[in-house]
Structure 1
């Protein structure tokens, strides 16, 4: 996944028992932002990421499955992981590449989330930039090993993240290198939001830029926008967007769990545009039909 700037919160979601969420960074919604719950609502979600063996098991499962799928992809020149309509003709003869988000996909920012919980505050741009410049993000378990394996197979990994260029570029490149991720000598395989080569906000333009010279065989993210454009919509529309790709998950596309923030929360908020109590509105979205 991959990041995302607006301070919003989240409740229990993504099939994680007792993992509540908080006022953190998400894609900006089409409607004005709504004030949500206090930052300490993110306690369980952050604690789960930092301490649960179940979290490590889930992310290692993703990267172990991805390694086997990568071997299969490299044997099949017709294998492509870009969304329908994004790949150009003749991709079969191009060298293989992987597109991966950074935050909560390859690197772990839970210490930043934890500081917000401890200090009972939400996301601010200033605190986020301070965190990025500290270059203190850790690797997601299994991520470096997978990236190095892909590199050993001759696969170029492109880090396509919605961290902002140019302000967060140098620190992001340095953090990735420190952790052992394969980064080109000129860092040309790191594409932040606002990159002059493909400056559009959504990631589709950056994916198409990569497609010019590479065959994209896998994609990784923690947010739907890491795989598809047009995801800033309601819950039903997002479900319809992924319907044609049901059998791609776990083979071409790999989603990392992130219960702390994401555009999924904005999708729920769309039903709360005029609600004076958005947290109550979001709670009413929970299924309890038994």
Structure 2
């Protein structure tokens, strides 16, 4: 009985199997060649610009700088001889003069990272025509914390003086941009751009010492703000050693009279590494910078 049932079952199973439709085995997958991703040249400024635009750390650093400076305003005002100009740039006594604060503009008050981002995108480098076009757009935004500081200074009767290496022909666009961002502008005379003529002082390139002297003739300077050493005092020797010597001399002024904003995207520290010779090809400048790296052994 069991044998016949088993046989019948087997027969039925074989018949059912025989009646199943035949399925062809799928052919093995053939690798499909993909087009290579477009090659994008490396850009030294990519991470720096991204850090300024996208990191919370950058915003925190800027905001805490201006907040700390605000806390020092009253103490600076009360000290009649308090002065943030180096002695060689002070030609007249500061005591009794109206109080002022000197601010650089680019990367100190206004954020130009969208212009830097364009250069990264286009594989380009700074040029006067592209820079002038950007300034004329009047689209730069205020750095975190600067408007609050500026308004606190203005409320205390302190004049804000803007000493910038934006050329004088960009004055109106710059003042428009400052005002649109809520920065106090007492009058057009508080903008001292590159090309400002200062009597009895010979300007050397883009150094700001003559313009600081001009401000010092009218004001007691309580504080200075910048993103480069040259925003605070003249850099006579733009080499790593010369810049360090200037920092060593006035190190105690930072955080009291001088306030430095972070700017990894550009600055005079960079050409100091390749003998200030911008005529060198980009690859040669990059090679010199790479050679200057301190590599852990």
The bucket for the TM-score relative to the shorter chain is 0.7 to 0.9
Q: Separation in 1 of the partners of 2:256 and 2:287?
A: 38
- Which one has the bigger helix percentage? 2
Match of 1:99 in 2: 102
User: What is residue 244 of structure 2 aligned with on the other side?
Assistant: 239
- Residue 267 (structure 2) pairs with residue 265 (structure 1): no
2:156 maps to 153
Match of 1:187 in 2: 188
Equivalent residue, structure 1, for 2:26: none
Q: 1 or 2 for the larger relative contact order (CA 8 Å, sep ≥6)? A: 1
Equivalent residue of 2:188, what SS?
coil
CA distance in 1, matches of 2:93, 2:242: 32
Would you say 1:203 and 2:204 are equivalent positions?
no
Please tell me the root mean square deviation across aligned C-alpha atoms, in Å.
Answer: 2.0
Q: Deviations over 1:61-80 (max 9, x none)?
A: 11011111112101111211
Mapping of 1:30-41 within 5 angstroms? Answer: 40-41=43-44
Using the TM superposition, give the Cα deviation of residue 121 of structure 1 relative to its aligned residue in structure 2, in angstroms. Answer: 1.5
Q: CA–CA distance in 2 between the matches of 1:149 and 1:59?
A: 16
Partner of 1:114: 117
| Structure 2 stretches lacking a partner, 5+ long | 1-40
1:142 aligns to 2:149 (yes or no): no
Q: After TM superposition, what 4+ stretches of structure 1 lie above 2 angstroms from structure 2?
A: 38-41, 196-201, 271-278
What are structure 1's unaligned runs of at least 5 residues?
1-37
Tell whether the 8 Å contact from 2:95 to 2:220 is kept in structure 1 after alignment.
yes
Distance 2:237 2:111 in 1: 24
Distance in 2 (alpha carbons) for counterparts of 1:272 and 1:154: 44
1:31-84 deviation per Cα after TM superposition (whole angstroms, max 9, x unaligned): xxxxxxx67321111111011000000001110111111121011112110013
Specify the alignment match of 1:248 in structure 2: 253
Contact 1:62 1:256 in 2 (8 A): yes
Q: How many residues were matched structurally? A: 251
TM-score, normalization: structure 2?
0.80
The answer (yes or no) to whether the contact 2:271–2:277 under 8 Å persists in 1 is no
- Asked whether the 8 Å contact 1:88–1:212 carries over to 2, the reply is yes
User: Equivalents in 1 of 2:136, 2:89: separation in Å?
Assistant: 34
In 1, Cα distance between the equivalents of 2:166 and 2:208?
Answer: 12
- Give 2:35's aligned residue: none
- In structure 2, distance between residues paired with 1:46 and 1:162: 20
Partner of 2:87: 84
